[in-house]
Structure 1
Amino acid sequence: MTRRGFRFWLRRNDEHVAGRGTFVEPHTLEVVSATGTRRVTAERFLIAVGSRPRVPGNLAVDGIRIVTSDHIERVPELPRRLAIVGAGIVGCEYATIFAHLGQTQVELFDRQPRILPFEDADVSAVVAARFAQIGVHVHREAKIETVTVVGDEVEVTWNDHAGELHRQRYDRVLVATGRAPSTANLGLERAGVTLDKGGGVAATDTRTAAPHVWAAGDVTPDLMLANLAELEARHAIEDMYGLEPPPIIHEAQPAIYFLSPEVGAVGLDEQKARAQHIDYRAAVVHNALNRRNLAMRATDGFVKLLARRDGRLLGLRVVGPQAGTCIQGVALMIGQGLTLDAIERCVHPHPAVTEGVLEAARLLLGKSLFKPDAMPGLCHIIEG
């Protein structure tokens, strides 16, 4: 729902109280606005205040030259040179956008040895290779020292992986070092709500420590995704009115990274499976074996499917065009605890990018016509 649609819905159904709210008692909010202060009392509350950009202490965001994702889409002109601090989803997506607009030289900085460090290295490698092709320069293991506005430019100094100091000027600097829950100054402790060490509202299936308070979206420790926020909000409202919704299956949460190439993700990847000490197997099928990808002349990327030894599905990563369309079926299957056989028995459309998922399942079942020994570099099985 758009903001305009939400405001229209509010006019038809409920009272909209605009302002900054703070709990003063367990069931009472004090709301301060431009027109004054008032108190609002209710039996139940839903905390859905979202998140804010997380900014390192040595970076002074001014919203003009040094910006976050809250500001970048309002800059008056395309920068000739753009520095992006942070190579997570937000940083990499904006690097993709500005590089494809064709008027901006983009440089991406991160302290980690590779971009998208929360994903497996093979996913990062494909995106990084594409960045090199479209002119995005990645500074790996870079430690930002200072970011200073100098006239109409921003001067950035940083140390590289060898400790050598560098200095460069840019038109804009985008700080994309993550987001943090917007829980400050809400008085949540007065309502009996507890926070986790990251400042998010501690909640299980949207229920907080206070029986009359629920939480949804970025304010919780869960993944900060719009589709999950909507699901949690619906769950919270149904729960607070006694409709007994089923538990939220976080293991089946799908996500799309709007990069070049696109990345679709659901469930566990290899590094998360190893961290949880799960005995897994994975199959990788490169897009060069998929006829739809060949027809589109878009063979960069791959499909990687993870399953337990007994065949139960764990996760899927798809890198390439239409990656986001490949993950929903597997998300449903993970949520239902299904196995590789469920994918193999499902008739897939042809030619389609989703056939890569089918062939990955067949590889793990020993039924694929693709043979890793005969096709080195195009398909293989990983024993976790």
Structure 2
Amino acid sequence: MPDIRDNNFDIVIIGSGPGGFSAANRALDYGLHVCLIEKSHLGGAGVINGVLTSKTMYELSMDYSVAARIDRGYRASALSVDYNQVRHTVLEAAREKQYQMRSQIETFTNKPSLGSISLVNGHARFLNENVVEVSSKNEAFEISGKHFIIATGASPRQLPDVKTDGKRIITSDDILSLSRFPERMLIIGSGIIGCEFATIFSNFNQTQVHLLDRSNRVLPYEDDDVSRFVSNNLEKNGVEVHHTAQLRCIREHPDHLEVVLDYAAGHSKVIEVDLALVAIGRVPNTKDLGLENIGVSPDKRGMLCVKDSGQLESTKDHKNIYAIGDITGHTQLYSVAEFQGRMAVESIMNNVCYTPDYSNMSTLMFFKPEVAAVGANEKTLQEKSVGYRAVFYSNALVNRAIAMRNTHGFVKILVSNDNKQRILGMRAAGPQASAFIVAVAHLINQGNSVSEVLKIFYPHPSITEGIQECMRALASKSIYKPLAFPDHIIVSEWNPGDPITQTPKDEEIKKNK
């Protein structure tokens, strides 16, 4: 550990996740001296027990799923999978990223002329607005700074009546502690995290997966057509989705868990599993930070209220203390934390060029197939009484998808229902959806209209031609016509005063399965 006890740093950052690490390295651009404090794993949930590890496991599961297919003219013989080997590969990926981060930090350790980063291991608590106390193993010491950035992230939310033990009743933090694939598992929660782990374990085809969905749709914040698409695919992949079911209790037995589910229709069901994974969201890590010593209290959700710049909002005017990432109440995304970390440093240096627009963020959902989203969906537009036109265009008509023998997916684009036809949002599913969603994000942020986008040449054959044809369908110029392909091209519109409804309908989604 560097000798940091007598130093007064330009910035002290608590937490080395995507927000904290990006802030530390943005500070180097200004020649600042930074202390980066981490109590657990370098990289936080962006590397361990979070984004990188879960997506590595997802990619391995997708590789296994493809290798197990027998409908492409080839067959892999004696295909098998071992959880310990999967776990080893996942941890190898995490270590690779951590060593990249450490290499960057070591490069700028003790470089006073260039700016510097000093990495400190321990738990930090504020003593006042200029000093934190760091507890590390059997010692405690103080670190002072001119500015502070709180980037402590979030942890898995616990169920109030179900106690996790890290072995049979677990959260996503415990996935890598498993020694084998469970034969039967229950995933509690049908949001993105729950659906991703349902996809991963069902892809490996070693586990009978039950997914508990309290509503009648997985992904409750998405449009019904997207939710149905994902739910149908999970069931097709072997997942048993328990819609409109509530968890009554989990009874622990020596060799299994007995789960009692109560359904909205009035009946109950008892199922037997070996493992229960609680995946009901994440809560901010704001406890035991000494916030009371700086006159700051989290809101009732546990979040820290911040200004657009990231500065804390409190009864005291803490111009030198910032909060970023999952603890700020914005969408809990890696990209948001990273952006906020950079912006906090720019605010400290009075060099903020623009404030973030959280309305058009891109989201990736790692299912089978992958799903990507950006901008508004139908639910939000109808809630805001904004008229729109929508086009659903199936990958079944896209040449690249046909060549890949992977036509299960779609592009759905929403535009304003006026002469401008500004692009408002997009949902896409299928191969490469995660790769091209950012291009549409740029179009939305620039306020582009359909007519402007249609001037662009799209490469052939590419999956992105689905976007082009979707836009052409909005302008009644598509090569394939809705009249000829009513199951694959669906054009609709909604205006204020119309009934609250969404398309495609159930039967239309099923036809595209």
With normalisation by structure 2, the TM-score equals 0.72
2:410 equivalent in structure 1: 302
1:370 equivalent in structure 2: 480
Moved more, 275-284 or 63-72: 275-284
C-alpha displacement of 1:331: 0.7
The separation in 1 between residues aligned to 2:454 and 2:182, in whole angstroms, is: 49
Moved more, 191-200 or 268-277: 191-200
Give the one of 368, 371, 383 matched to 1:263.
371
C-alpha displacement of 1:15: 2.3
Aligned residue type for 2:491? I
Is contact 2:251–2:259 with CA below 8 Å preserved after alignment?
A: yes
With normalisation by structure 1, the TM-score equals 0.95
The separation in 2 between residues aligned to 1:311 and 1:211, in whole angstroms, is: 43
The separation in 2 between residues aligned to 1:103 and 1:171, in whole angstroms, is: 13
1:208 equivalent in structure 2: 312
C-alpha displacement of 1:58: 1.1
C-alpha displacement of 1:207: 3.0
Aligned residue type for 2:476? G
Provide structure 1 residue ranges, at least 5 long, that are not aligned to the other structure: none
Give the one of 236, 242, 249 matched to 2:344.
236
The separation in 2 between residues aligned to 1:152 and 1:295, in whole angstroms, is: 48
1:58 equivalent in structure 2: 161
1:89 maps to 2:210: no
Is contact 1:58–1:145 with CA below 8 Å preserved after alignment?
A: no
SS at match of 2:439: helix
1:338 maps to 2:448: yes
Give the one of 261, 277, 284 matched to 1:174.
277
Give the one of 202, 216, 232 matched to 1:129.
232
Q: Mapping of 1:16-31 within 5 angstroms?
A: 16-31=119-134
SS at match of 1:44: strand
Aligned in 2, Cα 1:358/1:195: closer, same or farther, shift over 3 Å? farther
Is contact 2:372–2:427 with CA below 8 Å preserved after alignment?
A: yes
Aligned residue type for 1:124? S
Provide structure 2 residue ranges, at least 5 long, that are not aligned to the other structure: 1-42, 44-96, 110-115, 495-513
Give the one of 245, 250, 260 matched to 1:157.
260
Aligned in 2, Cα 1:340/1:214: closer, same or farther, shift over 3 Å? farther
Aligned in 2, Cα 1:266/1:106: closer, same or farther, shift over 3 Å? same
SS at match of 1:14: strand
Is contact 2:129–2:321 with CA below 8 Å preserved after alignment?
A: no
Aligned residue type for 1:64? K
The separation in 2 between residues aligned to 1:6 and 1:74, in whole angstroms, is: 24
Is contact 2:389–2:414 with CA below 8 Å preserved after alignment?
A: yes
Tell me the C-alpha RMSD between the 2 structures.
Answer: 1.7
1:49 equivalent in structure 2: 152
The separation in 1 between residues aligned to 2:172 and 2:255, in whole angstroms, is: 20
The separation in 1 between residues aligned to 2:296 and 2:423, in whole angstroms, is: 36
Aligned residue type for 1:276? K
Aligned residue type for 2:329? P
C-alpha displacement of 1:230: 1.5
Aligned residue type for 2:287? A
Is contact 2:309–2:347 with CA below 8 Å preserved after alignment?
A: no
1:148 equivalent in structure 2: 251
Is contact 1:109–1:142 with CA below 8 Å preserved after alignment?
A: yes
**What whole-Å deviation, never above 9, does each CA across 1:277-304 have from its counterpart, x for those lacking one?**
2222211111111111112222222111
Moved more, 226-235 or 281-290: 226-235
C-alpha displacement of 1:98: 0.5
1:112 equivalent in structure 2: 215
Q: Matched residue pairs, number?
A: 384
Moved more, 62-71 or 147-156: 147-156
1:354 maps to 2:464: yes
Question: Whose Rg is larger?
Answer: 2
Is contact 1:78–1:104 with CA below 8 Å preserved after alignment?
A: yes
1:292 maps to 2:400: yes
The separation in 1 between residues aligned to 2:195 and 2:322, in whole angstroms, is: 33
The separation in 1 between residues aligned to 2:226 and 2:441, in whole angstroms, is: 19
SS at match of 2:146: coil
**What whole-Å deviation, never above 9, does each CA across 1:43-88 have from its counterpart, x for those lacking one?**
1111111100011201111111101111113200000001100011
C-alpha displacement of 1:240: 1.5
The separation in 2 between residues aligned to 1:191 and 1:371, in whole angstroms, is: 63
**What whole-Å deviation, never above 9, does each CA across 1:243-284 have from its counterpart, x for those lacking one?**
223211223321211100110111111112222222222111
C-alpha displacement of 1:194: 5.2
C-alpha displacement of 1:205: 4.3
Is contact 1:326–1:357 with CA below 8 Å preserved after alignment?
A: no
C-alpha displacement of 1:236: 1.5
The separation in 2 between residues aligned to 1:369 and 1:217, in whole angstroms, is: 44
2:22 equivalent in structure 1: none
Is contact 1:26–1:192 with CA below 8 Å preserved after alignment?
A: no
Moved more, 280-289 or 48-57: 280-289
SS at match of 1:42: strand
The separation in 2 between residues aligned to 1:276 and 1:190, in whole angstroms, is: 41
C-alpha displacement of 1:181: 1.1
Moved more, 136-145 or 232-241: 232-241
Aligned residue type for 1:233? G
**What whole-Å deviation, never above 9, does each CA across 1:166-202 have from its counterpart, x for those lacking one?**
2222111110001111112223343354534321222
1:10 maps to 2:10: no
SS at match of 1:135: coil
SS at match of 1:281: strand
2:16 equivalent in structure 1: none
